[in-house]
Amino acid sequence: MSQITIISGAERRRVWTDDQKRALVAAACEPGASVAEIARRADLRPSQLYRWRRDLAEPVSPGFAAVTVGGEPEPAAGCAIVLEVGGAVLRIASDAPPALVAAVVRSLRR
């Protein structure tokens, strides 16, 4: 026996609060979580979760970062720039591809 669903009247879109969106996006960002599974449980498409993640992200304004110049730098063979960000030390070689350097620096912001 098959099931038939009859929709009468105008179909309405669901309205999600920002808190509901944040909870679903946070669940999808957990280690080992499956975006497809979370979307399926919420009766969404996975692309909707990715859209909410992008829309709810903190805007990053381009600008300058505070830089502190210390005493003598540590000797680093082949390094052109040494960055210390939040306890992490990043040594950038003079021949590093700019796209790689940009990707690594962007990942440190998170």
Q: Are residues 49 and 69 in the same domain?
A: no
- The residues pairing with 92 across neighbouring beta strands, listed in sequence order, are 81
Q: Are residues 76 and 102 in the same domain?
A: yes
Q: Are residues 74 and 106 in the same domain?
A: yes
Closest residue by Cα to residue 23 from 36, 46, 42: 42
Domain encompassing residue 92: 65-110
Q: Which of 42-46, 65-69, 95-99 has the highest mean pLDDT?
A: 42-46
Return the minimum-mean-pLDDT range out of 41-45, 78-82, 99-103.
78-82
What are the b/e assignments for 70-101, b being 16+ CB within 10 Å?
eeeeeeeeeeeeeeeeeeeeeebeeeeeeeee
Residues 6+ away with beta carbon under 8 Å from 48: 39
Q: What is the pLDDT of residues 15-63, one digit of tens each?
A: 899 999 999 999 998 889 999 999 999 999 999 999 999 888 877 667 7
Q: Is residue 12 part of a domain?
A: no
Can you list the positions of beta strands (E) in 14-110?
79-85, 88-93
Q: Are residues 94 and 76 in the same domain?
A: yes
Q: Are residues 50 and 85 in the same domain?
A: no
* Mean pLDDT, rounded, of the chain: 80
Q: Are residues 43 and 75 in the same domain?
A: no
For the chain, the domain total comes to 2
Q: Are residues 76 and 46 in the same domain?
A: no
Q: Is residue 11 part of a domain?
A: no
Average pLDDT on 76-92 reads 73
Q: Is residue 6 part of a domain?
A: no
| Residue 35: predicted pLDDT | 93
End position of a domain, from candidates 56, 84, 102: 56
pLDDT cut 70: percent of the chain above it: 74
Q: Are residues 46 and 71 in the same domain?
A: no
Distance of CA 45 to the CA centre of its chain: 19
| Residue 42: predicted pLDDT | 92
- Cα separation, 81 vs 108, in Å, equals 15
